Structure 1
Amino acid sequence: MMSLLNDFLTLDLSHSTEKIIAEYIWIGGSGMDMRSKRRTLPEPVSDLHKLPKWNFDGSSTGQAPGEDGEVILRPQAIFKDPFLRGNNILVLCDTCTPGGEPIPTNKRFDAAKIFNHPDVVAEEPWYGIEQEYTLLQKDVLWPLGWPVGGFPRPQGPYYCGVGADKAFGRDIVDSHYKACLYAGINISGINAEVMPGQWEFQVGPSVGIFASDELWVARYILERITEIAGVVLSFDPKPIQGDWNGAGAHTNYSTKSMRADGGIDVIVKAIEKLRLRHKEHISAYGEGNERRLTGHHETADINTFSWPQGIANRAASIRVGRDTEKAAKGYFEDRRPASNMDPYVVTSMIAETTILWSPHSKKKNNSSS
């Protein structure tokens, strides 16, 4: 039976029709749940402008009232479909009202305004996002590989570990890796994390808003693969309380000025700006992050901005790597974002703070009010 179903799933439609299947993907009402539905298009499409808008019932996703539930899907990025393959595509969409106004869960709209600002465009911001996640056993919602209701050996052997007693879910992880490469996502690596059953994939370096587009579609592909495997995907920043590592989305960042000779001075100034806006960033860096940022398990305390200059410290808010220190140019890593952060919010906020925001203008505005 499964073999016959697989025969249908892998049918090459190009021999019988020019029509393709487009999977329209969007972010649901919780800000983390992903939704999708499919439609038939008359021919292969590679140009965003040739994709039709679509709609869905927002009252069923927590994104519109029942009496006026129509929400419009606006295509924003195209990827190859690793599930249906052929000329079929995944279409990442943002969401708006029938009148064209972005709905509250559409974080891409405001991010695009920042990334389209001439000063930001000129700096060509690059991002590399390290997405950590936890695989859970479906029926008990307990980490994959853990004894039900019990605990494995303490942390130590699991990070980048090999072996049936150390690495749990590698088939899922490798399937996701290859599927992302097939889709055209700039996935740059994967590794097992410190807590058993927890993994990480990295997206980037990608420019501006495209880093967030790629991360969202990579999340979608991962959830589809875990669906097939009968495993639950969790982006909870602290899925297991106690002496276990949490899950983050460390965000590596550089601008054209930081990558140029003498860029270390630009990096230092950018980090100082981030220090001055620490509370604002923390409030936007993911729900439940206070359970993860405790000052333990390779994190900084959520209430304290720490940056030991010149030290590659993983227990800091901001980490400057040895290579950046040695070259006096490059990138830095914001280690504060939680695994469930919205990349549109985090990446645009980092760009806005480090490129557009001035602490002097803020002081001036405060004194005049």
Structure 2
Amino acid sequence: MDCLLANHFQSLSCRGKTLCEYVWLGSFGSDLRSATKILNFKPSSAAEVPLWTYDGAATGQESASCSVVYLKPRSIHPDPLRGGDHLLVLCDTYQVPSAEDAGSATELKPHPSNNRVFCDSAMRAAAASAPVFSCQQQYTLLNPQTHYPVGWPERSGESASSSQSYAAAGTLACVGREFAETHVRACLHAGLRVSGSVADAVPGQWSYTIGPCRGIELGDHLWLSRYLLLRLSEQFRVIASTDPKPVPGDWSGNGAPVKFSTRETREEGKGWFVIQEHLRRLQHAHVQHIAAYGVGNAKRWTGQAQSQPSGSLLDFTIGMESRKASISIPHSVLLQKRGWYEDRRPASNMDPYLVTMLLTCTALQLPLPTHAPSKTTSSQSHQTVSETISRGSSAILDEIADLDSFAPDTPPQNVGLLATECSSENDPHGAMSRMCH
């Protein structure tokens, strides 16, 4: 493909037309799709963007009676790829009413793969607690011919250490800066809440932060930022991989840790005690969360890299400013006795709608949202969130069992700080040490 020729035509006038790029998720809940609809006007809000349809048979989302799936616009953003008045339109997916329901149905039914509608329901229920999230999204740039990280010797099992590459500058230590800078600027142009970017632990690995965001906004902005990763990778002719461990070996994989707080955890005088209660609830729901925290997540728990999570995926640990723990507590929280905590368990390919919904419902003891059962005979009938996660539980356990580092006879460790963190010199106020007992 001739990119220079394509760039020439990008500058041509569209004669008052607006190109709207509808972006949605396919059947796996992680495969981004998009299509262009041309409008005779420029919408000023998502409500002005018309519904659209696509062939669900091509994305694995057809029902038994109909392959048509509806796209409902949820937010609009300036398109950094086309420029001008053109827009990115984030959508979620809905099914056509079945023949039995056609006469009485007044609304489209959310598609079974539509996790956004679950998340939005949970965030509305939690509105009084004003949940706020941030996410550090990691990704690795791969050579499309070798599927090996750019900047690494081809097929070498070694890479530069994190001390050489993290936040580094220089030709050999820092690889892909042009791509990362372009992506951040594209996200900012689109109005996404990007608050930082850094070269990560090994050459070709980068991370950027989305947030702070309120409620459903974290999921919306993170998915659109991933879409821009994919689109820019086409132009730079690289693969922007969010696989948790795209190349096996003793080096840091890709994660997407999420920082979380509520009105109560941020409240002066009581926030620290609310955080401790949240952590107890997260401990009890640990396996349920892990099942929904990304495909291939167990691969991140292998190796001895400095920033790798430690122990088994089934362990639940808490550490002060620890990148190896399940939950990391900022030092500022101990000093101020309020604030936020970071869930470091999510893999880089996790669905932010599921992760933020589970964090919110577990921490605030809210019931998981459900859909009414569908009358369709499709194998993809409507599911509750609990049923969706249950299907993932058996898959994650099979995945863990395949890892050499997992010892099935070793019981999960008790909740508490990592041994190296649970000492008086690291905890002058004694607050974290008390949590260990």
Q: TM-score of the superposition, structure 2-length normalised?
A: 0.77
1:325–1:41 CA distance, 2 compared to 1 (3 A) = same
Contact 1:296 1:315 in 2 (8 A): no
Contact 2:251 2:303 in 1 (8 A): no
Matched residue, 1:365: none
Matched residue, 1:184: 191
Contact 1:300 1:306 in 2 (8 A): no
Count of matched residue positions in the alignment of Structure 1 and Structure 2 = 351
- CA distance in structure 2 between the aligned counterparts of 1:148 and 1:10, rounded to whole angstroms: 38
State the Cα distance separating 1:77 from its structure 2 match. Answer: 1.2
Quick check: which one's helix share is greater? 1
SS of residue paired to 2:349: coil
Q: Are residues 1:299 and 2:313 paired?
A: no
Contact 2:174 2:203 in 1 (8 A): yes
Deviations 1:241-299 (A, max 9, x none): 22111110000001011112021111111111101111111111011111113484331
Contact 2:310 2:324 in 1 (8 A): yes
1:337 aligned to which of 332, 338, 346: 346
- CA distance in structure 1 between the aligned counterparts of 2:64 and 2:275, rounded to whole angstroms: 48
Structure 1 residues not aligned, in runs of 5+ = 359-369
Give the alignment of 1:49-128 within 5 angstroms: 49-64=47-62, 68-99=66-97, 100-117=108-125, 120-128=126-134
SS of residue paired to 2:85: coil
Matched residue, 1:238: 245
Give the alignment of 1:105-254 within 5 angstroms: 105-117=113-125, 120-150=126-156, 151-254=158-261
RMSD, aligned CA:
1.7
1:296–1:104 CA distance, 2 compared to 1 (3 A) = farther
Matched residue, 2:358: 349
Contact 2:281 2:363 in 1 (8 A): yes
Deviations 1:6-33 (A, max 9, x none): 23213454xx42x211100001223222
Contact 2:43 2:49 in 1 (8 A): yes
- CA distance in structure 1 between the aligned counterparts of 2:131 and 2:11, rounded to whole angstroms: 39
Matched residue, 1:39: 37
SS of residue paired to 2:274: helix
1:295–1:138 CA distance, 2 compared to 1 (3 A) = closer
Aligned-residue identity in percent? 37
One-letter amino acid of the counterpart of residue 94, structure 2 = C
Deviations 1:133-164 (A, max 9, x none): 11100111111111211233444301111111
SS of residue paired to 1:249: coil
State the Cα distance separating 1:66 from its structure 2 match. Answer: 8.3
One-letter amino acid of the counterpart of residue 287, structure 1 = V
- CA distance in structure 1 between the aligned counterparts of 2:303 and 2:172, rounded to whole angstroms: 29
One-letter amino acid of the counterpart of residue 94, structure 1 = D
Structure 2 residues not aligned, in runs of 5+ = 98-107, 368-437
Extract structure 1 runs of 4+ deviating beyond 2 A: 1-5, 10-13, 65-68, 151-156, 293-298
- CA distance in structure 1 between the aligned counterparts of 2:215 and 2:272, rounded to whole angstroms: 21
Matched residue, 1:10: 11
- CA distance in structure 1 between the aligned counterparts of 2:266 and 2:273, rounded to whole angstroms: 11
